Amino acid sequence: MRLVLTATGGDTWLTVRARTAQGKSLYFGILPQGQSITLAGRVWARFGGASDLAARLNGKPLELPAGTYNALITADGLRKLAE
Residue 64: which of 5, 15, 12, 10 has the closest Cα? Answer: 5
Q: What is the pLDDT of residue 82?
A: 87
* pTM as predicted: 0.95
Mean pLDDT, consecutive 10-residue segments, the chain of 83 residues?
97 98 98 98 97 97 96 97 86
Q: Check residue 83 and give its pLDDT.
A: 76
CA distance 47 to 63: 13
Domain locations in the chain?
Answer: 2-81
Note the pLDDT of residue 72: 98
